[in-house]
Amino acid sequence: MGAGEELGRLDARLVAALEGIGLLGEWSYDYPSRVFRSSPGVSGAFAIAPEDGVRGQPVELYERAVHPDDVGWLRTTRSAPPGHSGLRVTELRVIDAAGRERWIMVRGRFVLDAEDLPAFGYGVMFDVTDYNAGGERPFVAPAAPLTDPHFVLLESLAMAFRASRQLAQGAIERGCRALLFRVAELVARQVRPSLMLDERDEPGRRLH
């Protein structure tokens, strides 16, 4: 197996592991152009083709998947100042390509313009359907940090995964990804004790 194939295999295993414990991936939104970009896991939750999400699409295409009751307040929230910390945590409901209703936690950081309004946003999304089985109303927390250590660790894993892909040294990349996968596996066993990740896991498969 070549170095490129090995990295690709580690990527697939890590993505499957992270998705299996709820981390969908990353997103970014450019306010002036209204272009939203997303990693494949996020794109799938909004019924967007993976390649289209990476390339970027009008935010209205993503809104088509948002629960009708949540679209209005989501638009209002998106255009409002995020608060003094530049952070915002939002939960919303989406209908994915399979017709399933899912609860999504959107965690974002925002770059503000001269009027302290959002100009660019980026962050990560989690599938929190399992944590919201009671169907509570979606919420917005203008400056709320993540307090659940599992979510804090998952966000850190997402950032580390992105950084590892920017490195030009294969040995460091392979070591970093192998470590990230192991951490994701350990977190998975705490969050969902029945979850077992091994060599048989298929890339991109949702694990339960």
- The structural domains of the chain, with segments of one domain joined by +, span 3-191
Average pLDDT over residues 109-115: 84
pLDDT in tens, 117-156: 888 988 888 888 876 655 555 444 443 444 456 666 666 6
Domain 3-191: which topology? Answer: Beta-Lactamase (3.30.450)
Average pLDDT over residues 10-39: 76
111 vs 81, which has greater pLDDT? 111
**Beta pairing partners, 101:** 95
Cβ density class 124-159: b for 16+ within 10 Å, e for less: bbbbebebbeeeeebebeeeeebeeebbebbbebbe
The pLDDT confidence band at residue 67, using thresholds 50, 70 and 90, is very high
**Percent of residues, the chain, with pLDDT higher than 70:** 56
Cβ within 8 Å of residue 125, ≥6 positions away: 23, 24, 25, 26, 27, 41, 42, 45, 104, 105, 106, 107
Considering Cα of 44, then 50, then 52, then 55, what sign does the dihedral take? positive
Q: Is residue 53 within 8 Å of residue 38, measured between CB atoms?
A: yes
Calculate Rg over the CA atoms of the chain: 17
Strand order across the 23-30 sheet: 57-58, 35-38, 23-30, 118-127, 101-112, 87-95, 140-141
pLDDT in tens, 29-64: 999 999 999 988 899 999 999 999 999 999 999 999
Considering Cα of 131, then 185, then 101, then 156, what sign does the dihedral take? positive
End-to-end CA distance of the chain: 30
State which amino acid sits at residue 87.
Answer: L
Average pLDDT over residues 13-23: 60
Q: How far apart, in whole angstroms, are the C-alpha atoms of residue 159 and residue 88?
A: 17
The pLDDT confidence band at residue 197, using thresholds 50, 70 and 90, is very low
**Percent of residues, the chain, with pLDDT higher than 90:** 19
pTM equals 0.61
Q: Is residue 105 within 8 Å of residue 123, measured between CB atoms?
A: no
